Amino acid sequence: MPRFLNRRVIGVAVAVLASAVTLAAQQAWWTTIAATGIPNSASAWMVQYNYAPSMSIKSSVSSGVALIKYNVTATEELTRVGPSESSPLCFTAAIRADTAASRVRVTLYRVQGATPQALGTLDSDAAPANGVTGYREIRSCDLPGPSVGPNATVSTLDFYDNAYYVEVELTKRDSTGNPGVMRIGLGHEIS
């Protein structure tokens, strides 16, 4: 085989391997684009599906609260312990709440029996935009864990005994607000 062809084959093999490793790392997280959510019936009229693919409250709505639900499906990343035994599960969202007239709350719920239990909430009011406009990332790796200790955090989700969903609450306090959500994810930090 000519030398230049051998180098190309090796180069292609390295590129394919690197892509596979990157793809595996990306597939490990459970993620969803915001446009896949389902608004509850009381607020469906005020929710707008954007091309972005995000969801927001329509500009024609002067104020209101919209609730949108997302089913969390089991992935290998969510059902196994992370890269280290103490690796907590992280919760992240790309949200838009860049004025005092907007608020976005993203809450992960566990359903076991009849009553959903909130495991963690990301709140735009607790993570101010500080001049950032458009969509920004908010994240927490401090989801409270089972009663193992005062600082225990969730490291896996148990889909055998529980169901999980994420609820997004978009609040438009007045006509200048423009709350939105673009993406939601759950997974382990890779260090």
User: Residue 71 in contact with residue 165, Cβ under 8 Å?
Assistant: yes
Distance of CA 18 to the CA centre of its chain: 25
The 8-class DSSP code of residue 45 comes to G
φ, ψ at 76 (rounded to 5°): -60, -40
Q: For residue 55, list its beta bridge partners.
A: 49, 181
- One digit per residue, the tens of pLDDT, for the chain of length 191 reads 555 444 443 443 333 333 333 334 444 678 888 888 999 999 999 999 988 789 999 999 999 999 999 999 888 878 876 656 567 788 899 999 888 899 999 999 999 888 899 988 999 988 878 777 788 889 988 777 655 455 567 778 888 889 999 999 999 999 999 999 999 999 887 65
Where does 30-188 sit in CATH, by number?
2.60.120.260
- Each domain of the chain, given as residue ranges in start order, spans 30-188
122: three-class secondary structure by DSSP: strand
Whether the full predicted model's pTM is greater than 0.85, yes or no, is: no
Q: How far apart are CA 108 and CA 90, in angstroms?
A: 11
